[in-house]
Chain A
């Protein structure tokens, strides 16, 4: 889901570049609390793994493929702040070395895949783990659902950017519909990869799964990081 140069105009691209820089600075500031001697190499591994799996485009329809974005996977393994930094690291390396995703579009791409994709994945995972068990199977189901919805939400980030600064006059509802449709299918693929990966790590090394250590399961048990939509807890 890497936007190329010229698809969104320079002004809107610049605004999102500034937004991406601010968001990443916040992630560094907040992520440092999570980053200890054990999480730092794990985060490097998560970034390298996401890079590898992003190369594996899978067919979703004749003539249409998709690949993992990785936001939900990163959230579950290393947490939301460091997770967004992992996905951003991948996007920056892909842009600078592999000519994948335009340099002027880097802010747009970081916003969609690293910020929106991770934030949506985080909110969904945090919400789902309030009701689903913190077992490998529970994590797999959580990862699958959060991935499908997270990818569709991230795809609508592009629709917003195109609405603000698209360089061709096209029907926005049509773009939104096509993006949501194909990314629902891509999200299923992402969900399967996320579920398999997280469940595997949870079986081998549960202590390295952020979602097993940090997310609060029961509402009201501790002042947790999970946002509560309930008025009476």
Chain B
């Protein structure tokens, strides 16, 4: 592959690393749209724990990988929240790129001819 394309991939990864490693610390801590809907009907305390009422989230069960070293976008053993979020985010970007690019590279089409000429027709 051309050097120019690798430069683009590298620059893109750098942007992703800054977003996940730095900007992520400025993200909103409010529940997302689904979590908000899941808590609708319940009362919660300051920590966001459910204290009463009827809602979906009452049936919520613990996560299987809650003890993972990267659980909840932190790093086990690092108490500084900014550092933990940033590092786990940056690690996540690298892991996702590594696994993603690796798998896509392995399953890619290896014939040398151009893709544009052999496009299949869609069927929905």
Contacts and interface: CB of A to CB of B under 8 A. Distances in A.
Interface of A: 1-7, 28, 30-49, 51-53, 55-60, 63-67, 82, 85-86, 89-90, 93-100, 102-104, 123, 155, 158, 162, 166-168, 170, 174-175, 178-179, 182-183, 185-186, 204-205, 208, 213-214, 223-227
Interface residues of B, number: 72
B46 interface: no
Contacts of B55: 168, 170
Given A48-B13, A55-B19, A102-B64, A39 B96 contact: no
Classify the secondary structure of B's interface with A: helix
A41 B1 contact: yes
Contacts of B20: 51-52, 55
Contacts of A103: 63-65
A48 B34 contact: no
Contacts, number: 251
B100 A48 contact: yes
Nearest to B28: A65
Contact of A1 (B16, B32, B60, B105): B32
Nearest to A223: B121
Contacts of B77: none
12 contacts: A7-B56, A32-B109, A41-B104, A44-B97, A48-B97, A49-B19, A57-B29, A63-B30, A65-B33, A66-B32, A100-B72, A162-B56
Interface string B1-32: 10001101100110111011001100111111
